[in-house]
Structure 1
Amino acid sequence: MSSPPASTDPAPRRQFSYALRALRHRNFCLFFIGQFISRTGYWMQGMALGWLVYRLSDSPFMLGLSSFVGQIPAVILGLFAGVVADRFSRYRVCLCTQVLFMLQALTLGVLTLSGTVAVWQVLSLALLAGVLLTFEMPARQTFLQEIVPKEDLTSAIALNSALVNAARILGPALAGLLVASFGEGACFTINGICYLAIIGGFWAMRLPKETPPPPPTTSTWAFIREGVTYAVHTPAIRLLLLLIALLSLLTTPYTVLMPVFAKDILHGGPGAMGTLMGAAGAGAVVGVYFLARQRNTKNLGRFITFALLRLAVGLILFSCSRNFWLSLLLLPLVGSGFMVPMSSANTLLQTLTPAPLQGRVMSLFLMMFMGAPPIGSLLAGALAPHIGAPLTVGMTGVACLGAAGWFWLKVPLLEQATSAQEERDEQATLRAAEATRG
């Protein structure tokens, strides 16, 4: 009896290629490759910086403070960053900030390798990086729409999240090896060199000739107020921004306290910390791959809810674990549970927001994403010495359960907004086709 023929169903292959559809565009490919290399260096520096601060200070509070100073600029300057993204060339903003990021990393590397680095210097350079990120992120997120068409935006955002988290796997793992062998300064220096990849990618892009933006007709404050008013009075946008703030707040403690888990609870070193952070990144990559396969935005609300449940379960079980290998198996739940809602919210914000307001709305995204963690960082640093790192992280997992229930009740609102936007897009397409025929 002959065996049945092998399946030739092309559906899985079609789904895979559909998830990667943004890579059909040359400029996005250049962006993708450069971002992967530079983000690998970024995560190397992030892991090494936390380890350096903890080694110099032996203080969970200083760990929290180092995270705080890197994130607080988004709260203070975030609205102005949105104005810059909407009024100036997003390409030039991205390019200039990458150059400055490179100089910041190389400076930190020189100080550390020379043996003269002090905690105050690390904090100062972390503050500078926070200022740069505040202006770079809204411009970078909205720049994606200039290198991919709108129908490929979900794929582009998901792939961008995937590359960030693939770098999150590779970067900390490499950093653990480098810190153990050569010290933290090697990670900072290599990060600076890695920025050459994304700078070169921007230089190699073929973009249409830029049209100079019209001179502003309103004051900066009026421009800011317009964006804030739109976000506050649009229920779906307001819901997504609140979700981002809550998600950022609740996931900060476990990342800030990871050196404590790696060293004091799981009895490992920098290599163990890098591996743990890489496991969370692996879960995020898998999660955003399934997000990239989504063909419309109607189901993203339910996608977000189930991801929040995974996040809650992962944080609670991770906080209870005292075994390194068990912790390694649990962290992919945490990584997926964090990145899928974040990427989904990013996609929905850019899909639902009118083009002239996207920079300012994405600056509010940045403020929520970067503004809530300073509170979480300080809370983690203040609570951990008294109740312990495990209980601190476990409490955030319980809070995530509540967040999942709250968001589930809001899913119908989000589905109505996405359906209405799809109808508007279809009508705009029809009008454009009629105008072309006419």
Structure 2
Amino acid sequence: MTSAAGVLASLRIRNFRLFATGQVASVAGTWMMVVAQDWLVLEMTGDSGTALGIVTALQFTPILLFTLYGGRLADRYDKRALLTAANSAACVLALALAVLVLTDAVRLWWLYVFAFALGLVNAVEVPARMSFVSELVGAELLPNASALSAAYFNVARVVGPAAAGLLVSLLGTGWVMLLNAVSYLATVAALRRMDPGALHRTARTADRSGVGDGLRYLAGRRDLVIALSLVAVIAVAGMNFQLTLPLLAKTVFHADASSFGLVTTAFAAGSLTAAFSGTLRRSRPSARLVAGSAALFGVAETATGWAPTYPAALALLFLTGFATTHFAQAANHRVQMGSEPSYRGRVLALYTLILQGSTPLGAVLVAWLSEQAGARSGFVVGGLVSLGAAGVALVVGEGATVSGADTAVREKKGAKERGVAS
């Protein structure tokens, strides 16, 4: 298999091509919405980091509260149907907010309400989407498909903010929000055009186990616990970019709307590079690789906080974006490829809860820190804490993997289940 064919291997599968196409449109719309929403909040509040932190916290609080139940839904019910319903609901919410903005009826508290409502939808959509990838391509292509998913996500994150910065300047935030509403329809259309018979589904059983059973399963997997613990620390301390990026752009470098979008674009371009670099992965990442990528993230983020000029910040944000996705992808693959299929939805829901549900806590802490010590402090403190956590994980991880015999038994069992699924 040539390197190019290896990178794009999952795209040979029609269902995955449909899924990826719909997601590119939807995610681009979502990132356009993020830029428009953040710009609107800062305009309405006189560049208040606290207000932006509240919006961010409200959007991610439902993930903290409900995503484990969303993972249980993904394990028990048809993921394609769940994703169709979730994207349809997100479309309605985005459309309603766009109408309020275009008619000048929007108030700050409405932005709070819609942020929380979208978070409720994401609590169901994210674990269903992440676990649905394995049904689209099967076990053998799962690492490639997961990496390609990160790649198209970051393609959209490059295109979306850049387009949003231009469109906000030309048309205003309301029209950008309307485009986001339309973008969800691309995902719904792609899901409905798929061939259900070509999905790699696990055999339906009478299993009525719940969230608690998933947590007990995880408690017996020290290798997964260490990876998830590292994700938790870095997510809270370092991955608050929805808050730190706009504050850095607007309050440190005094960027206009177009330059504001370029900050997110530089970060996303680095993330895209990392995503493509992971498409050839065929095996489960080691604990050392996950911790090493976390250390790279800590160094890059700290350096970004000290960037002396706007061009230097863009270059360092590219590196930070690369390190962010490299770490998140390595941790995701270690968790997903190490989980038994019958628990995968719940395990990935916990991964999502940690990665995104911790954002309310991180957003509040970073918002307070930024108000007290300036926008740069969010990057510097987050990077140093992340670097320290990576060091601890490197030390603890040496003796914390599952024993060789136990690992072999689990992998053999997982391979057997995946074989039945395909």
Q: Same fold (TM over 0.5)?
A: yes
Structure 2 unaligned residues grouped into runs of 5+: none
| 2: CA distance, partners of 1:362 / 1:207 | 23
Q: 3-state DSSP class of the match of 2:197?
A: coil
| 1: CA distance, partners of 2:404 / 2:330 | 12
Contact 2:238 2:385 in 1 (8 A): no
Aligned to 1:277: 264
- Indicate which of 181, 186, 206 corresponds to 1:197: 186
Aligned to 2:291: 305
- Indicate which of 157, 170, 176 corresponds to 2:159: 170
- Indicate which of 25, 37, 57 corresponds to 1:68: 57
1:190-225 per-residue CA deviation (whole Å, 9 max, x = no partner) reads 011111211111111011298995556x5xxx6111
Contact 1:30 1:205 in 2 (8 A): yes
Aligned to 2:360: 374
Q: 1:96 to 1:282 in 2, by over 3 A?
A: same
| 2: CA distance, partners of 1:174 / 1:399 | 33
Contact 2:71 2:127 in 1 (8 A): yes
Q: 1:235 to 1:206 in 2, by over 3 A?
A: same
Q: Aligned partner of 1:50: which letter?
A: D
Query: How much does 1:172 deviate?
Result: 0.5
Is 1:225 the equivalent of 2:197?
A: no
Aligned to 1:86: 75
Over the matched positions of the two proteins, sequence identity in percent amounts to: 27
Q: How does 1:20-35 map to 2 (within 5 A)?
A: 20-35=8-23
- Indicate which of 160, 166, 170 corresponds to 2:149: 160
Aligned to 1:346: 332
Query: How much does 1:254 deviate?
Result: 4.0
| 2: CA distance, partners of 1:341 / 1:285 | 13
Q: 3-state DSSP class of the match of 1:257?
A: helix
| 1: CA distance, partners of 2:367 / 2:382 | 14
- Indicate which of 236, 246, 263 corresponds to 1:249: 236
How many correspondences in the alignment? 416
Aligned to 1:286: 273
Q: 1:383 to 1:211 in 2, by over 3 A?
A: closer
| 2: CA distance, partners of 1:301 / 1:102 | 39
Aligned to 1:4: none
Q: Aligned partner of 2:122: which letter?
A: L
Q: Aligned partner of 2:2: which letter?
A: R
Structure 1 unaligned residues grouped into runs of 5+: 1-12, 434-438
| 1: CA distance, partners of 2:378 / 2:277 | 31
Q: 1:422 to 1:273 in 2, by over 3 A?
A: farther
Q: 3-state DSSP class of the match of 1:78?
A: helix
Q: 3-state DSSP class of the match of 1:151?
A: coil
Aligned to 2:308: 322
Is 1:19 the equivalent of 2:21?
A: no
- Indicate which of 52, 55, 60 corresponds to 2:43: 55
Q: Aligned partner of 1:93: which letter?
A: L
| 2: CA distance, partners of 1:211 / 1:283 | 36
| 1: CA distance, partners of 2:320 / 2:403 | 28
Aligned to 1:395: 381
TM-score, length basis structure 2: 0.92
Query: How much does 1:309 deviate?
Result: 2.6
1:16-57 per-residue CA deviation (whole Å, 9 max, x = no partner) reads 321221112110011011101110001000111111111111
Cα RMSD after superposing both structures: 2.4
Task: Report which of the two structures shows the higher radius of gyration computed on alpha carbons.
Answer: 1
Query: How much does 1:387 deviate?
Result: 1.1
Aligned to 2:349: 363
Query: How much does 1:393 deviate?
Result: 1.9
TM-score, length basis structure 1: 0.89
1:142-169 per-residue CA deviation (whole Å, 9 max, x = no partner) reads 1111110101000011110111111111
Q: 1:166 to 1:413 in 2, by over 3 A?
A: farther
Contact 2:62 2:120 in 1 (8 A): yes
Contact 2:25 2:183 in 1 (8 A): yes
Q: 3-state DSSP class of the match of 1:256?
A: helix
Q: 1:413 to 1:15 in 2, by over 3 A?
A: farther
